[in-house]
């Protein structure tokens, strides 16, 4: 009897709180690379200086393996896709999928990501790859339905705007 009651409760809750995900259609590259005529050590130093100037806290600085990773970084602009898979705002840093609960479409209030820099030196040239990883979009206090507060949105992708901006400033 107890198992039946638990099963019925789970069925009721999952049907009452059904979230519809609309998958992203667009093609969003995951990393961006640039090549410098500088040493790997100089590129790593430039990345660290860039992060300090732009309030990007770092949790990993591994010069030996050419890896720098930020603490979770708050993304300040996001957008949705149009029906044909194009970001509605091309200057946004992140695109999030539309998700609906009981015909209410909600948007995130907090988007976090790790910024990862991979540096490799080959033949007097150094490549630097920038990528956003572990992106998460959260619904927080303003959620219309209190039981979705703290929920992570399923689809979050980079538009490439932030990566291109970082690369441009590093040149």
The neighbour count for residue 87, using CB atoms within 10 Å, is 21
Please tell me the distance from the alpha carbon of residue 108 to that of residue 142, in angstroms, as a whole number: 9
Instruction: Return the pLDDT at 4.
Output: 53
Task: Tell me the pLDDT tens digit for each residue of 77-91.
Answer: 888 888 888 888 888
What are the respective helix, strand and coil percentages of the chain, to the nearest 5?
25, 40, 35
* Average of per-residue pLDDT values in the chain: 80
Instruction: Return the pLDDT at 105.
Output: 59
The yes-or-no verdict on residue 25 having pLDDT over 80 is yes
Domains of the chain: 19-170 (3.30.530.50)
Task: Tell me the pLDDT tens digit for each residue of 63-80.
Answer: 999 999 999 999 988 888
The yes-or-no verdict on residue 55 having pLDDT over 90 is yes
Model's pTM, two decimal places?
Answer: 0.78
Please tell me the distance from the alpha carbon of residue 135 to that of residue 99, in angstroms, as a whole number: 16
Instruction: Return the pLDDT at 91.
Output: 85
The yes-or-no verdict on residue 28 having pLDDT over 50 is yes
19-23, 95-99, 100-104, 155-159 — which is least confidently predicted? 100-104
Instruction: Return the pLDDT at 100.
Output: 63
> What angle do helix axes 40-53 and 161-170 make, rounded to 10 degrees?
120
């Amino acid at each position: 009897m107890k198992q039946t009651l638990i099963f019925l409760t789970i069925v009721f809750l999952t049907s009452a709180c059904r979230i519809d995900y609309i998958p992203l259609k667009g093609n969003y590259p995951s990393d961006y690379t640039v090549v410098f005529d500088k040493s790997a050590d100089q590129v790593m130093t430039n990345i660290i200086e860039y992060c300090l100037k732009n309030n990007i806290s770092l949790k990993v600085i591994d010069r030996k393996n050419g890896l720098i990773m930020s603490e979770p970084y708050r993304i300040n602009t996001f957008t949705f896709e149009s029906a044909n898979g194009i970001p509605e705002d091309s200057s946004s840093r992140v695109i999030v999928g539309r998700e609906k609960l009981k015909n209410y479409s909600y948007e995130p209030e907090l988007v976090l990501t790790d910024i990862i820099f991979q540096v490799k030196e080959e033949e007097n040239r150094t490549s630097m790859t920038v990528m956003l990883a572990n992106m998460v979009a959260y619904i927080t206090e303003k959620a219309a339905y209190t039981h979705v507060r703290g929920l992570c949105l399923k689809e979050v992708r980079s538009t490439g705007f932030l990566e291109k901006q970082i690369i441009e400033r590093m040149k």
